[in-house]
Structure 1
Amino acid sequence: MTFQIKQEIASCGGKLMKLSHPSKKTGTEMEVNVYLPKQYFHKQDQSIPVLYYLSGLTCSPQNASEKAFWQPQADKYGFALVFPDTSPRGEGVPDDPEESWDFGISASFYVDATQEPYKKNYQMFSYIHDELPRELSQFFENKGNSKLDFVENVAITGHSMGGFGALSAFLKLYPERKYKSCSAFAPITFPSKVQWGQKAFGGYLGQEEEKWKPYDPGHLLKMTTNIGSDKILIHQGTGDPFYKNQLKPELLLEASKGTSWDGKINLNLVEGFDHSYYFVSTFVPEHAEFHAKNLGLI
């Protein structure tokens, strides 16, 4: 599989690469942005770890690349960044028939859909956590002065719907220790209990709530055993208009009670912050340090 380089942009001390490639999982052309830190351009003894960032509803790979200010932190610690798209796109890709912004194109919820007409293209869980890392590894192999580790030494974070996607993937794949660490900005923490999640899960996975549990962080906490040291970092603004009705991070804390994750979720309620990238960018340095420690960079 071949990536097309659409643009290379000098950014901070490194380079942002805007790529596209045909995906077998989604059956569409997929866009992805990759930030190569300054360390990539100098010979490294060890491979450079990778942080995956999943964006929220209505977003594309451009939003966080332009507004989250991850690049200076990537240069500071020496990790690369991958910004996948939020859904398949293109002619023939089914969208929400009601043309709403919280379902369909740019709102995949990062699951592998099982329902028509979405299951053909909306295979986003398999795409992001299986196909994309393998294809990026092959594409960047023997390029540049340093090796990039897209598969083994990786961490995950995200915002809003992407925060849910990060929590879901971290916990769902936890037994195999796919991701070294997980953090989230204003995530949808227990989608089975809020309208955004119920609509998405019902549309992509069907109306039987039992089929939602393998993706729902609130249930996955009870199905996965923490090995004893792993923690999850979350920031949530109290001025976020979605905080009380769609995000509800306290539900995740409640769900963790009595499980191996009890006391392992570091929820930070930050006064006055909203849902925007002003909020995200403010706390990116804290999340970057958290992941750098878990990736062995500090």
Structure 2
Amino acid sequence: MDQLQLVSANKIFGGYQKVYSHESSVLKCKMNFSIFLPPQAEGDVKLPVVYYLSGLTCSEQNFITKSGFQRYAAHHGIIVVGPDTSPRGVKIPGDDESWDFGQSAGFYLDAIRDPWSTNYKMGTYLNKELFELILTAFSNVANPDRIGIMGHSMGGHGALVSTLRNPGLYKSVSAFAPICNPMKCPWGEKAFKGYLGEDKSKWIEWDATELVKKYDGPPLTLLIDQGAGDKFYIEKQLLPENLVEACRSAEVPVILNLRDGYDHSYYYISTFIGEHFDFHAKILKS
């Protein structure tokens, strides 16, 4: 724990919601992450871990303050880790000009185009550096064999891609309103062009709809949750049907819950977050 600095700690539902900072060698800056330690962490049993990836414009704060997830994580005895959404304070020219690229919009990928390639390596940060840091720093409570991942919007994209690119690393995966086929939507095209360049063969490596077509890892079920009243769904930014079609052709089990009247917000997430924790608990505790 020497490399971690405690930023905040609040007792909630018998557990503790904490935020730590650390120096990231991958991103070359100081990063925050949240971690919820449920009341069961006081015992001598190792607990499942679920990562939650936030969406565009978010930090590690949005999910822990708006979703109400702690009630369900405490009930199931699940540790929940939430990274930030991009490097912070690296001051690349243009990184704060728009809300859907640069700061708070790292897309959980490894940039290969200058000047982004030096710092914007959220894929490696999440799935290697932070992953290993959590297992080391919290080795007394975190079970390395029972890890899941979920996310919202850009973070839903990150959760799906991280799972499909690293077969077996995450045993369970779910997503709220994920960007399912970024190669085919304006958000994804802008991000991929900026971070990865014009070569679309590089884009395929970070698109869940493309990755699932060649998935050959351990058995996996994708849980996708989508509000039917979500303006970004209506505007074809999210494209869950493309992912479902690809899953069916690849014979990868997928569940798509289309929620009548619900939008893209945390009002929607907080309504169904309990179902997602039930889903992860069933897999991770079986």
- With the length of structure 2 as denominator, give the TM-score of the two structures: 0.96
Partner of 2:163, secondary structure, is helix
Tell me if structure 1 keeps the 8 A contact 2:59–2:85.
yes
In structure 2, the partner of 1:285 is 274
Match of 2:107 in 1: 109
Secondary structure class of the residue paired with 1:258: helix
**Alignment check: 8 A CA contact 2:214 2:250 kept:** no
1:180 corresponding residue in structure 2: 171
- Using a 3 Å threshold, how does the CA distance of structure 1 residues 16 and 225 change in structure 2: closer, same or farther? same
Q: Give the distance between the partners of 1:226 and 1:23, measured in 2 at CA.
A: 29
Residue 94 of structure 1 deviates from its aligned partner by 4.7
Q: Match of 2:274, SS? A: helix
Deviation at 1:222, TM superposition (A): 1.0
Q: What percent of counterpart residues are identical?
A: 45
Structure 1: runs of 5 or more not aligned: none
Q: Report the CA distance shift for 1:192/1:19 in structure 2 as closer, same or farther (over 3 A).
A: same
Equivalent residue, structure 1, for 2:52 = 53
Q: Deviations over 1:48-77 (max 9, x none)?
A: 110000000000000000111111111111
The change in CA–CA distance for 1:257 and 1:42 in structure 2 (over 3 A counts) is: closer
Any stretches of 5+ residues in structure 2 without a counterpart? none
Question: What secondary structure does 1:74 align onto?
Answer: helix
Output the CA distance in 1 between the equivalents of 2:223 and 2:156: 11
Does 2:199 match 1:208?
A: yes
Distance of 2:103 and 2:186 partners within structure 1: 18
Which residue, out of 152, 175, 191, partners 1:159? 152
Distance 1:91 1:220, change over 3 A: closer
Residue 148 of structure 1 pairs with residue 142 of structure 2: yes
The residue number in structure 1 matching 2:259 is 270
Aligned length: 284
Q: Which residue of 2 aligns with 1:32?
A: 33
TM-aligned CA distance change 1:24 to 1:94, over 3 Å: farther
User: Are residue 121 (structure 1) and residue 111 (structure 2) matched?
Assistant: no
Q: Give me the CA root mean square deviation.
A: 1.4
Cα offsets for 1:132-179 (capped at 9, x unmatched) = 1212222234xxxx5223x432000000000000011111112xx000
Q: Deviations over 1:161-210 (max 9, x none)?
A: 00000011111112xx0000100000000000001001111111111110
**Matched residues in 1 for 2:61 and 2:183: separation?**
29
**Following superposition of structure 1 onto structure 2, how do residues 57-68 of structure 1 map, counting pairs within 5 Å?**
57-68=56-67
Specify the SS of the correspondent of 2:116. Answer: coil
1:232 aligns with 2:219: no
> Is the Cα contact below 8 Å between 1:95 and 1:103 reproduced in 2?
no
Instruction: Give the corresponding residue for 1:6.
Output: 7
Query: TM-score, length-normalised on structure 1?
Result: 0.92
Instruction: Return the structure number with greater strand share.
Output: 2
Give, as a single letter, the amino acid of the residue that structure 1 aligns with 2:147: V
The answer to whether the 8 A contact 2:90-2:119 is kept is no
Q: Distance in 2 between matches of 1:21 and 1:96?
A: 22
Give the whole-Å Cα distance in 2 for the aligned partners of 1:110 and 1:206.
16
Q: Deviations over 1:198-233 (max 9, x none)?
A: 111111111111001111111101111264x42111
